[in-house]
Amino acid sequence: MASQIAELDRIALIPLSASSLRSHSGFRHRPTLRRSAAQSNFPKIKLNLDVQGLSRIHRGVLVNQRRRVILRVASAEWPERIDGGELANEEVQRGNQSLADGNLDEEHRKKPSQLRKRIIFGLGIGILVGGVVLAGGWVFTAALAAAVFAGSREYFELVRSRGIASGMTPPPRFVSRACSVICCVMPLITLYFGHIDVSVTSAAFFVAMALLLQRGNPRFSQLSSTMFGLFYCGYLPCFWVKLRCGLAAPALNTRFASSWPLLLGGNTMWTVGLVATLISLSSIIAADTFAFIGGKAFGRTPLTAVSPKKTWEGALVGLGGCIATSVLLAKVFCWPTSSLSAVAFGFLNFFGSLFGDLTESMIKRDAGVKDSGSLIPGHGGILDRVDSYIFTGALAHSFVKTFLPLYGI
């Protein structure tokens, strides 16, 4: 039998409308056999291929269509290779590789801009928070109340997300909005009255009654998620107000007190609450930074399944950085006077920040999201930035007021 010669006659790109694309799957193969008089001994198979709508087909979909074309065309010339799928597989692999290379190039282009954005906004937030902490009083409390309101809104949106709501009934929107307002008011009440216990109990009672008396069938999941929201987003952050503004005993040995300008508050501004807040915040920042660097450099053993990127090696490096920062700032501020107390304060800050970070990671994992929101460019939501501080304020306040004799002076 005479050998056959296969030619690819033409590939025509024919742009189609949206309606015509729905009615065409992508390819039409119309093989026609034409034999000329000059080549009567060698029949030539001519394939007329109309490739329709390729300009609108995604590149990943095009790989599968190209495979069919290759199998049709090359089967006439290399049947022994097509039987094993060798040629088609090579072509598909090249297409997949090109797709992967394109995705990597896009990621490499995004990384510098994301890092630059994170650094710029991180420095801006750090300077702003430092000024607010130094100001104290109503300035500090109002800023904390605004952050609490934004964080509580993000929390209840996570509760209503598809990942969590698929296994439970979220609270009604009017209840979640009311809880956000209650959480926002809690720091202001703490500053004015000096305590928050009665207010939290009253708020929890009225919210529970609203849930139980709602239309429809009240669910326990609604009550539990709402009560945890009041505790997590409202009650715990109030301890930062009690720490910064409630511990008004002067830090007598602090070197900054004698030389601090009178225009900025004078020596009376440097209280135990201010020094403890600065040390606690700085220790948490050091713990996160050192844990990230240590995890990148030495991380091998996963810490927990809640956050797979965290490692034991990174946690140990973060613990060392947190304690070192606490001891160093204790020497600078001359508070607390005992080095052992400074080390214990560093331990407490580290475990409080780690537990808060893991708690928020667990909530986001159940919600099926990467970030709690998009309020801060390059950083995600407000909960993504303050998760390490939520539990630490209560632990730091209890440590200073209960375990340090004379507040560590």
* Model confidence band, residue 102 (pLDDT cutoffs 50, 70, 90): low
Distance of alpha carbon 111 from alpha carbon 101, whole angstroms: 15
- Determine which of 45-49, 77-81, 99-103, 339-343 has the lowest per-residue pLDDT on average: 45-49
- Per-residue pLDDT of 278-320, as tens digits, reads 999 999 999 999 999 999 999 889 999 888 889 999 999 999 9
Q: What letters, b where the CB count within 10 A reaches 16 and e where it falls short, cover 103-125?
A: eeeeeeeeeeeeeeeeeeeeeee
pLDDT band at 349 (very low <50, low <70, confident <90, very high): very high
- Smallest CA-to-CA distance from 291 within 328, 323, 319, 329 is with 319
Distance CA 406, CA 400 (A): 9
For the stretch 44-66, pLDDT in tens is: 444 444 444 444 444 444 555 55
**Residues of the chain with pLDDT > 90: what percent?**
38
Parallel, antiparallel, or unpaired for β 5-14 and 307-311? unpaired
Angle between helices 272-298 and 312-333 (to 10 degrees): 150
Mean pLDDT on 362-376: 83
Residue 266 confidence (pLDDT) above 70: no
Position 242 confidence tier, pLDDT thresholds 50, 70, 90: very high
Is-contact 158 386, C-beta < 8 A? no
Q: Taking Cα atoms as reference points, which of 182, 181, 199 lies closest to residue 190? A: 199
* Distance, CA of 338 to CA of 219 (rounded, Å): 51
Q: Which of 231, 244, 246 is nearest to 193 (CA)?
A: 246
**pLDDT at residue 76 tops 60:** no
How distant, in Å, are the alpha carbons of 2, 181, 183 from that of 151?
A: 78, 11, 9
3-state secondary structure of 314: helix
**C-alpha dihedral over 390, 394, 400, 403, to 10 degrees?**
-130
Note the pLDDT tens digit of each residue in 213-231. 887 788 888 899 999 999 9
Q: Give the pLDDT score at 94.
A: 63
DSSP SS3 for 31: strand
User: Are β-strands 44-52 and 27-34 bridged in parallel, bridged antiparallel, or unpaired?
Assistant: antiparallel
Q: What percent of the chain has pLDDT over 70?
A: 67
pLDDT reported for residue 64: 54
47, two tokens: 């394939």
Q: Examine the pLDDT at 38 and tell me if it is beyond 70.
A: no
Q: Which residue has the higher pLDDT, 389 or 91?
A: 389
pLDDT of residue 308: 86
Are 388 and 287 in contact, with CB atoms under 8 Å apart?
A: yes
pLDDT digits (tens, 9 = 90+) for 8-32: 444 444 444 444 444 444 444 444 4
- 20-24, 75-79, 145-149, 345-349: the lowest-pLDDT one: 20-24
Instruction: Determine the pLDDT at residue 108.
Output: 54
**C-alpha closest to that of 251 among 226, 228, 278, 230:** 278
- The pLDDT score that the predictor gives to residue 164 is 83
